[in-house]
A and B are shown apart, each in its own frame.
Chain A
Amino acid sequence: MNIDITDVTRQFGRTRAVAGVSLRTGPGVFGLLGPNGAGKTTLLRMMATVISPSSGSMRLLDRDTGSHAARREIRRRLGYLPQSLGYYPGFTVAEFVEYFALLKEMPSKQVPGAVATAIERVELGGKAHAKLRTLSGGMLRRVGIAQAIVNEPELLLLDEPTAGLDPEQRVAFRSLLRELGARATVVVSTHLVEDVGAACSEVALMAAGKLVFHGTPEELTARGVGHAVGDAPLERGYSAVLAAARS
């Protein structure tokens, strides 16, 4: 199991952002759905080892995130796209991706090829030498995805990856997700139910810090049979599970 989380909580002062989440999953594309404030980003940040859980146990890539040495090894094999991508405006696309490849401790000789591959995969080859401050929001999102996949991660965590992408880019991105999910565990946190339907083999739904559903997109769709809210079958399943959780 690449992700093995048991009863994890995360508290910020009096607010419990994540409340007793347990999750186990292996390779494939995993969709994390939920409304604003559900705890998706906090859960993803814990998996990215940016913050630690307040309680519970978290094993990623068969290592316990509590140990410093294990955390370092996990981070070498991890890709992470935060919800809001911070960047250095004076860096070029290639410099930015290279910088994070080096911080991931990739062997120096592999870096140029890995950087070129990542940039080509997000179709930014024509902008490799463009300064980040000159790029559109959608292009910056793709730069973020490039730095996340530059080390061919075994665990890839993407927070709202399709925000700012146009429909054509979103279709291309879903295809990239499926490709990456063939050998790695890819966790995609999103509000866009159609992304999950198109790319994910497994889906979980969070509400008020808890996991209220875990199954396949087909199982989520089945929950929506007879439910009125939502335009598409998967949306109706999403709404039905949320309504049940709230009641």
Chain B
Amino acid sequence: MTDAHSQQECPPDVDLGRVWIGVAGEVWRRRPGWLERSAAALLRSPGLARALLTTPSLLVPWLLASIAVLGSGAAVTLGTGQPVVSLLAPAVAAAGIGYAYGPGIDPAWELSASMAISDRMVLLVRALVVFATYALLGLAASAASGIAAALTFGWLIPMTLVSALALAAATVARSANVGVAAGLGGWAIMVLSWRAADGQFTAAVTYTAPRATVYLVLAACCGVTVLCAPRVRKGAS
């Protein structure tokens, strides 16, 4: 590129280095698909759109998050079905997803934590992707199985909607905390309105079946882990 021949041919006012960077930029640039372009427009952030579309490439965290989500869903559907379970189910799934993408698991977490786009926003995006994907799979499985239909319509689709609500609120308010509050609020309203419809509004705090107790202990363990585990590892030197 900078050999003697090209130097002789090149007019003095042409910066070959700049030309090469322009060419390399065009050759190396990735062309986002329609899905990423739409997500970028909706989320008002090409970075978040990219984080959303790269989620499935993080295979191990993806699997861990899926186990947490489906495990919580199964507990809700096959357990007591009482609101005390439903109320806490999002917390269990959220903790699972949080830990699947947190420090020590997401390889680039340390770098991501120093970026302008907050890691909590990236987490909200990934939570939506996890729920949406499994809602779609659940819908397909519903044709063959009643249990799958119950899991999909009673848990995965509502949680996808709640995650979408949380992300939308966070995008509009430009604050992940606002999004989380909106998501939890939306879920609580949804569950309590189901109870109000069948006249068991207070069941959320009065019901005590053995399986619910097991679930409550699991949820409490998740809560304690989230509160007590250090958010970042100790500095290496």
Which residues of A are interface residues toward B (Cβ below 8 A)? 10, 12, 15, 17, 34, 36-42, 45, 48-51, 72-73, 75-76, 78, 80, 82-88, 90-91, 94-95, 98-100, 102-105, 108, 111-113, 115-117, 119-120, 125, 128-129, 147
Contacts and interface: CB of A to CB of B under 8 A. Distances in A.
A112 B115 contact: no
A181 to B, nearest CB: 20
Contact of A116 (B28, B30, B46, B236): B28
Contact of A105 (B47, B108, B109): B47
A151 to B, nearest CB: 9
A86 B25 contact: no
Contacts of A108: 40, 46
Contacts of B24: 116, 119-120, 125, 128
Contact of A128 (B28, B114, B118): B28
A204 B49 CA distance: 41
11 contacts: A12-B230, A39-B237, A42-B235, A49-B113, A50-B232, A108-B40, A108-B46, A112-B26, A113-B22, A116-B22, A117-B21
Given A105-B116, A113-B22, A115-B25, A51 B237 contact: no
Nearest to B24: A116
B50 interface: yes
A116 B107 CA distance: 24
A91 B108 CA distance: 12
Contacts of A15: 234
A88 B58 contact: yes
B29 interface: yes
B117 interface: yes
Interface in B47-96: 47, 50-51, 54, 57-58
Contacts of B40: 108
Nearest to A101: B47
Contact of B237 (A38, A112, A116): A38
Contact of B30 (A38, A84, A95): A95
B108 A87 contact: yes
Contacts of A128: 24, 28
Nearest to B109: A86
Interface of B: 20-22, 24-26, 28-30, 40, 45-47, 50-51, 54, 57-58, 106-118, 122, 230, 232, 234-237
Given A80-B114, A116-B21, A117-B21, 11 more contacts: A17-B235, A38-B237, A51-B232, A85-B111, A86-B109, A94-B30, A103-B117, A105-B117, A115-B25, A115-B29, A128-B28
Contacts of B51: 99, 103
Nearest to A72: B116
Contact of B116 (A17, A82, A104, A117): A104
A189 to B, nearest CB: 8
A210 to B, nearest CB: 14
Contacts of B28: 94, 112, 115-116, 119, 128-129
List of 6 A-B pairs having minimum Cβ-Cβ separation, nearest first: A42-B235, A86-B107, A102-B47, A112-B25, A103-B115, A116-B25
Contacts of B116: 72-73, 75-76, 103-105
B22 to A, nearest CB: 7
B45 A86 contact: no
Given A87-B108, A116-B28, A117-B21, A50 B234 contact: no
Nearest to B17: A120
Contacts of A129: 28
Contacts of B236: 41, 83-84
B46 A41 contact: no
B46 A99 contact: no
B114 A78 contact: yes
A98 B116 CA distance: 14
A105 B30 CA distance: 17
A34 B235 CA distance: 14
Contacts of A117: 21, 25
